[in-house]
Each structure stands twice: as C-alpha cells, then as structure tokens.
A and B are shown apart, each in its own frame.
Chain A
Amino acid sequence: MNKMAEMFSRQLEQGSDGSTQRLERIRAGLSARHSRERRFRAYGIAAIVAALGFVAILFSMILYQGLPAFTQATLTVDVFFDPEIIEADDIPVQVEGQSAAEYQKAQLDWQRQVTMLNWNRVVEQAILAAAPDIEIDTRAVLSVVETSERFRLRDMFVADPGLLGKTVSVDMLASANTDNWLKGNIDRSLPDSQQQLSPEARALADRLMEEGKMRFSFAAHIFSNVDSRSAPASAGLAGAFVGSLYMMLVVIVLAVPIGVASAVYLEEFAPKNRLTDFIEVNINNLAAVPSIVFGLLGAAVFINYFRLPLSAPLVGGLVLTLMTLPTVIIATRSALRAVPPSLRQAALGLGASKTQTVFHHVLPVTYPGILTATIIGVAQALGETAPLLLIGMNAFVAQIPSTPMDQSTALPVQIYLWQGNENRNFFEARTSAAIIVLLGLMLTLNAIAIFLRTRLERRK
C-alpha cells in the first residue's frame, strides 16, 4: 500500500508549487506514520502472545500440578489373616421359613461383628513383618497406610471367609501424609512439630521405600473409587463420573430432540410475526442468562415445587438441559439457514409436502451441524458447576449412584469440593488431576465432534 502512495507522490512531484508543498508535508509525516503503524502491529502481536501465553500457562500449571497425583505410594506386604485376632462366627445362611428381611438382619449382624474385630492389628502386624527390627508404636505404624486399608482387608474376608489362617500378598495404599512425605510435597527440613507424620513413621516410610516394598504405582483408584473423607488417599472420581454421565444422558435425550424440533419449527414453519420474533429474542437472551439463575430455577421449581430429590443427577440433567437448549436451537437454526433454498424448491416442486421436504431433505443435510452443536452443548454442560451447587449436588456422596434418582455429585462439583479440602498439600495435586480428567473428557468430546463432522461432510 505504501509503495502505491509513494508512486502517487512521485507523480505529483512534477505538479505545481502548492502540491509540492503538500507533498513535503506528507513526506515529513511519513516516518512517524510508519512507526505508528509498526507500533500498532506490535500491539496486535502482543495481544495474541498474551492470549496464547495464558493458554500455555493455564495448561502447563495444571499438568505440572496434576500429573504427579496419578502415581501414588503403594505398599506391598504379606497379610496374615490371624485366627487369634479374627474371631467371628460362621457366615449365616438363609434357612427355610426365614423371611428376606430376617436373613438380611442376620447378615448385617454378622458383618457388624466382623467390623468390630481389630483389623488395625492385622494391618499393623503385616507392616511390622515387612520391617521387623524397627522400634515404633502402633499409631505411627498405622499412620503410614491409608485408614481405608483395614476395611479392604475386612471386605476381603467378608467376600471369602476361607482366608482365615492364610497369608496373602496385598497392595496397600500409603496414607496421604506418607505420599506427601515421599514425593517431597512437604519440606523435609521442617521441625517435627510442623510435620504431619511422626519421626518414626517417616523413617519407616523411607525405609520401606528403600527396600522397594513401597513404590510409586499408577493410581487406578482415582478412576475406580468414590470420594472419601476419612481416607483421602483413596478418594476417587468414580461417583462423580457416573453422576456426570447420567446428567449428560438426560441432556442428550432431552435437549437434542426438543432443541432440533424447536429450531425446525422456528426456521421452517413459523410465520414471521411478533410472536416468533419474541421467541427468537427470548432464546437469544436465554443463551446469555447467567448459569446460576438456572440453578435458582431448578431449586425453586424442580426441588421446591415438584419435590424432586435433592442431589439427583436427574434434576441436574434437567437444569443443564434448559441451559443447553438455546445452544442447540441457535446452532441448528444456523445450520438450517445454510441449506440452499434450491433443495427445498426441488422437493416442493416434485410434490412433497412441507413436512416431507423438511424431514426427508432439509434436515438430513444439517446432521453434521446438529451433531457438532450437540457435542459443544454437552461439553459446556459437562463443565458447568454453579447451578449444580444450588440443587444440592455438592453433598458428600460416597457411593456410585445406581440410578439417576440417587444422590450423586458431578465432576466439576467434585473439583470444587476437593479444592476446599483442608489437606491442601495433598488435594491441590488431586484437584489438578481431576481437572486433567475433566479437560481430557471435554477434549475427547470435541475431537469426536470434529472427526464425525469431517466424516459426515465427506460422505455427502
């Protein structure tokens, strides 16, 4: 462009005196203008570098903090199911004439009896057998492994009472404090009063690590366990994952058909009048209403008025459906708008009815668009937290929900709960790990969307 200006000015040079003067003025200002141009460009580049830098910082911080949480200190020891400690009756069997309720009561009584046994002692003996010559008290020994491990031994016994008197090799999870100590998350030079583990326990952990009985292994339980308060090292995402899954199912089952139908009506059938104009403004506004307002709607209508259960994925799914609906409608409408009118005219010209035209010819063309919109909407719903807090999904739930009506949390809410945990040292990494899982899921969804869209579009 500037070359053109220069050429132009050279032509003018042969002109009159007035134009020569003007030319001088333009030339004098040229370098200042060009440096302004360079500066402006530099601002643009700086803005892009800043934006890209934020993406990079965000992802690298989360990966840096979260990846270590995917491995956890695990202790492999031989556990002896000592008949002297495990003194329980035989497991009850259902006898003739006993009702199901009474049999269940007998079962529960037996399990209660088994639970009351001193499983801690079993754990302690197993660890002491692994490090026989160390001087240490019971509390310190037990603080090395996670508190849930004794329940695991109990559950092993309940599942198979024949283990009594036998020795089995068991992988036990180290406690959160041990994990912190071994990973160096806590400053090793701090005085005893500020350490979470006693000196003996720290020595024991170090020694087990040296001998190879304790090692860092992949923490598969992050994916298979539910949340736990008493045993933070064993806390996992399974419950939240299933809760999110149920909600996404509800969203897909409801938001997609309703959204597509509504878009089809507004775009293809509705007369253009005040009412449809109002619906359009309404949908565009709904797309920009803060998510927390949908949470208030859910709390007032679904929970308080319809008396649906608190913390249920069904209610969460309904709220997220209402939130996702505008996204699906708007995207489907723009996909429908992009269909060439010739297609409609050809179908109508061959005698198809309006409905036949839309459902047999126009809508199939928009499937890639609808699919992309659905996945984007679902990904958005998957990451939404605020409305779920208002319908009680931030409750602590230590079970995998078996139906959409059961209590449950969701992945983003689990992140919210974990970031608030008091054991910051341990849970900061755990929270980042959960974030990695969530972002990974969203990334997968988006990748699927892109893959399917290119496939569908190529087929046409």
Chain B
Amino acid sequence: MNTAIVAGLLLILLGFAYQLGWSRSRSLVAAGARVHSRPVYHGSLVAIWALVPALLVLGLWVLFGDTAMRAYIVAQFPPDVANLAPGDLNAAIQRVRQIETGFGVVGETAPYENAAAQALREFRVLTFALVVAAAAGTGALGLYLARRRISDRLRARNEVETVVRILLIACSVVAILTTVGIVASLLSEAIRFFTFVSPADFFFGTVWNPRFSTVGNGATGEYGLLPLLWGTLMVATIAIIVALPIGLMTAIYLTQYASPRARDIIKPIVEVLAGIPTIVYGFFALVTVGPFLASAGTSIGLDIRATSALTAGVVMGIMIIPFISSLSDDVIRQVPRAMRDGSLGLGATQSETIKRVILPAALPGIVGAFLLAVSRAIGETMIVVLAAGNSPFLRLNPGEPVSTVTVTIVNQLTGDTDFASPQSLVAFALGLTLFVMTLILNVAALFIVRRYREQYE
C-alpha cells in the first residue's frame, strides 16, 4: 500500500475536518450566539472524530492485509501448487509478487504465475481503493456526526480536554508497562529455564559450566550461580572501596571548604566522569589500567593479572566517583545551616563539625547514595566484560580474573535468538537475579532518601 498517499489523504482529511468545525463555530458566533467553546476546540473535536475511525480502518488493514493478500494468491494457484510444502509455497508466492511488481523473475514464467500476478495486480488496486474508500467513508461519517453536534451549547473544549487527558494517562502508563514487561519477560523465560535446571542447583550451585547448546541436550551443563555472584560482589566491593572515600571527601570539600568559584569549576569536571560511556571505561581498563596494575603488582612482588577483579573494580570505582559525590553533595547541602553554625559557635573546628554534626545528620542520605552506587556497580556490564577476565570460579584473590552476572548474561545471549536451550535461557534467570537485587537496593535507597528529605523540609 502506498504509505505516502495514505498519509497525504489523512492529512487532507484532518485539515478539512478541522476547517469545517472551525468555520461552523465561527458562523455560530457571527450569528450572534454565545458559544461555550472557542472555534479551535470545535475544529479539534471534529478532526478527532474524523481521524480516529479512519485510523481504526487503516490499522485493521495493516494488521490483516498481508494475510488476505497471501490467501488470495494461494487461491489463484492450481491445486498441485497450492498444496506444496510451506517453504516451496512461500517461494511460489514470492515469485508471483515479483512478477506483479514488474520487477520480474529470472527464467521462464509458468502461465498460472502470470495469471496469478495479473489477478493480484487487479486485487491490489481494488483492495487499495476499497480500504481508502472505507477509511474515508468512516472518517467522513465521523466528521458529519461531529459537525452536526456543533451548537452554542456543545462543550467541545471539555471533550477535547478529556481526549488530551486520556493521551497523557496512556503516556504515563508506558513506564508501568516497561516494568511489567521486564518482570513478565524475565519471569516467563526464567521459569522455562527452571524446567531444565532445578532452582536449587542454580541458586546454590558452586560450579558454572554451561557447555554449548550444540553439545547434548543442555542438561549436561552445570549452572551454579555462586561463582558469578561472588565475582559480582568482589568487583562491586573494590569499586566501592575506591569510590566511597574519594567521592565522599570530594563532596565534603566542595560543599564545606571550597570557594564558590573553585566549586563551579571543579564540580562539572568531576561530573564529566559520569557522562563517559562505560565502553570507554572498559577500554581504558583493558589497555591502560590493567597493564599498569599488573606491572605495579610485579614490582612489589604480587601476581596481579591484567584482566582481573581488581582492574575492573578500580575502573568501576572511578566511574562511580561522580555518582557518589553529586548525591552526597545534595544531601550535605540539605543539612540545615543552623546545625553547622551552632557547632562552630561552640568552638568546634570545621572538621569536627563535619565529622560529629554534618555527617551524622546527613548519614541516611549518604547511605541512600551508597546503596544506589552498589546497585550501579553490580549492574554495570561493559567494564567487567572487557576487564574482569571472564573466569567463573570461586577465587579469593582479587588479582585473579573473575566473571560476573552481567558478563555471563552477555556471553550466554549474544547473537543467540533461539530461546529454547538452557544455555540462552539462563541469561533470563541471571537477569531476574540481577533485577531483584538492584530492585531491593533501589527501593531501599529511595525510601531512605525520601524519609531523609521529609526530615529536613
């Protein structure tokens, strides 16, 4: 179907309907009536009434048109062709369509193909005309009905505003639908995964060795979550050890000591770190930090691998610094000034005030920031994909490579869309674990931060 023509026709219908409603309303005003709504609303109302039925008809055709076309082609075939296997039948249909568009096919065409193509050409023109006529007809009917309703007492504005409000509500439902979609898709695929592997083996297994889906039926693999969870926690812990002191001290210095000018310069530069894509951090870890840590380790007699939990953790820590510093910054600045001035007035030094008064007062907010940072760290993917080494074993040494939940999701699902084997389905079970973990952290953090805000507002 020619989309441009249809879109053009729709636009014409829309403009025409709007114009009709508008002029009708104007003529009422000209006749001296006191009209409830302004002409704009009458025009909009008529346009809505004309557009919605037309769109419904077109929508139905988009949904079912192709099926109808296909059925029509098959009906044109002689019985021996129509009863072919689905694959060959599709090929035959494709040939007819190519002949019909005038592009042609290579080689001789069978007479029945030419006939079918000819019939299809006529059918296409006919259905196109029919659909456009039906859309135009329903649109015109809607237009007529709406226009007839226009009177000085019609509350057109209220009706248009109701439509606007329905649209607004529909838009805010998208956010809920996203969550529902996440939970539903993760749950359903994870449940399918648990038909292959028992949940106990998954959640408490200590060996991760899924094998490949081409080898055996998949039940041969071992899907123990613990090594991955261990790796995730190790990397996240290292990240927090790096980020929390630096981020928190940065926030404290910028809010308590720095001059406004220094603050205006330093704060945006630190926040640049938050805007850098994670793949860039991953590459930085792989090419710069990993080799540096490895050689630094060698020089002090430690065996640190270039791709290890340490490398990934340190770089992830750098990534999280601005996250912690800007969240703590907000929180510290919300502590009432009177508390700070009171402490200083009693003779405490600035650092004593910060340590004994401001930080305890800001603690809930900082804990919230901390939880969000942890959630961020365990969900981070690209840094660990590139720099953690992908080695799913339970190891204590942070200088050794590890694997994490996110790395494994990427490994198990990349390029694989056949969601039938446990090897790819396990990604959803892992995703569910990750989602639940971050959900708990996020909700706890949101709750704490909200309570904290209420305390000082």
Contact = CB atoms under 8 A, between A and B. Distances in A.
A44 B253 contact: yes
A155 interface: no
Contact of A47 (B181, B249, B443): B249
B448 interface: no
A415 B284 CA distance: 12
A100 interface: yes
A36 B348 CA distance: 12
A261 B171 CA distance: 6
A5 B347 CA distance: 5
Contacts of A264: 168
B64 interface: no
Nearest to B242: A50
Nearest to B265: A52
B270 interface: yes
Interface residues of A, number: 98
B167 A415 contact: no
B2 interface: no
A301 B178 CA distance: 11
Contact of A300 (B266, B345, B376, B419): B419
B252 A44 contact: yes
Interface of B: 98, 102-106, 157, 161, 164-165, 167-169, 171-172, 174-176, 178-179, 181-182, 185-186, 188-189, 245-250, 252-254, 257, 266, 269-270, 272-273, 275-280, 282-284, 286-288, 318, 321-322, 325, 344-345, 347, 349-352, 354-355, 372, 375-376, 378-382, 385-386, 406, 409-410, 413-415, 417, 419, 427-428, 431, 434-435, 438-439, 442-443, 445-446
A389 B103 CA distance: 37
Contacts of A41: 253, 257, 351
Contact of A1 (B176, B181, B248, B350): B350
Contact of A383 (B276, B318, B380): B276
A51 B273 contact: yes
Contact of A296 (B352, B382, B409, B417): B409
A288 B376 contact: yes
A285 interface: yes
B438 A290 contact: yes
A303 B438 CA distance: 25
Contacts of B345: 4
Task: Give the one of B105, B182, B375 with max A CB within 10 A.
Answer: B182
A293 B179 CA distance: 11
Contacts, number: 276
23 contacts: A4-B347, A40-B350, A43-B249, A47-B245, A48-B249, A51-B247, A51-B273, A54-B321, A55-B270, A261-B168, A265-B169, A281-B443, A283-B175, A286-B179, A290-B438, A293-B379, A301-B181, A304-B417, A325-B178, A382-B277, A390-B414, A390-B427, A442-B277
A296 B351 contact: no
Interface in A220-264: 257-259, 261-262, 264
A316 interface: no
B306 to A, nearest CB: 13
Given A270-B172, A290-B438, 16 more contacts: A8-B347, A33-B349, A46-B249, A47-B253, A51-B270, A54-B321, A261-B171, A290-B435, A292-B434, A293-B186, A386-B406, A390-B427, A395-B415, A412-B279, A419-B286, A419-B386
A40 B104 contact: no
B175 to A, nearest CB: 5
A58 B276 contact: yes
Contacts of A304: 417, 419
Contact of A438 (B266, B280, B355): B280
A203 interface: no
A65 B185 contact: no
A282 B446 CA distance: 11
B178 A322 contact: yes
Contacts of A435: 280, 283
Interface string A125-169: 000000000000000000000000000000000000000000000
Contact of B106 (A102, A281, A289): A102
Contacts of A2: 349
Given A290-B406, A390-B410, A281 B446 contact: yes
A58 B245 CA distance: 20
Nearest to A8: B347
Nearest to A47: B249
Contacts of B172: 261-262, 265-266, 270, 279
Given A62-B284, A100-B103, A416 B245 contact: no
A54 B253 contact: no
Interface string A373-386: 00000011011111
B174 A262 contact: yes
A295 to B, nearest CB: 8
Interface in A334-357: 353-355
B175 A326 contact: yes
A269 B162 CA distance: 12
Given A58-B284, A389-B410, A1 B349 contact: yes
A383 B105 contact: no
Among B172, B247, B322, the most chain A Cβ lie within 10 Å of the Cβ of: B172
A124 interface: no
B179 A258 contact: no
A389 B438 CA distance: 21
Give the interface centre of A61, A258, A288, A392 by most chain B CB atoms within 10 Å: A288
A428 interface: yes
Contacts of B378: 290
Interface in A1-50: 1-2, 4-5, 8, 26, 33-34, 36-37, 40-41, 43-48, 50
B105 to A, nearest CB: 5
B287 A428 contact: yes
B349 A289 contact: no
B382 A288 contact: no
Contact of A285 (B322, B414, B442): B442
Closest 4 CB pairs of A and B: A290-B379, A383-B277, A99-B104, A44-B253
A407 to B, nearest CB: 12
Contact of A102 (B104, B284, B354): B104
Given A289-B435, A390-B413, A353 B273 contact: no
Contacts of A415: 279-280, 283
A414 to B, nearest CB: 10
The listed residue with most A CB atoms (<10 A of its CB), out of B103, B253, B375, is B253
A40 B417 contact: no
B175 A282 contact: yes
Contacts of B179: 282, 285-286
A48 B349 contact: no
Contacts of A439: 276, 280
A297 B180 CA distance: 10
Q: Taking each of A26, A326, A386, A432, which has the highest tally of chain B beta carbons within 10 Å of its own beta carbon?
A: A386
A93 interface: no
Contacts of B376: 288, 290
A41 to B, nearest CB: 6
Contacts of A297: 178, 181-182, 185-186
A353 B410 contact: no
A385 B165 contact: no
Contacts of B382: 385-386, 416
A101 B413 contact: no
Given A51-B246, A257-B171, A289-B379, A392 B277 contact: no
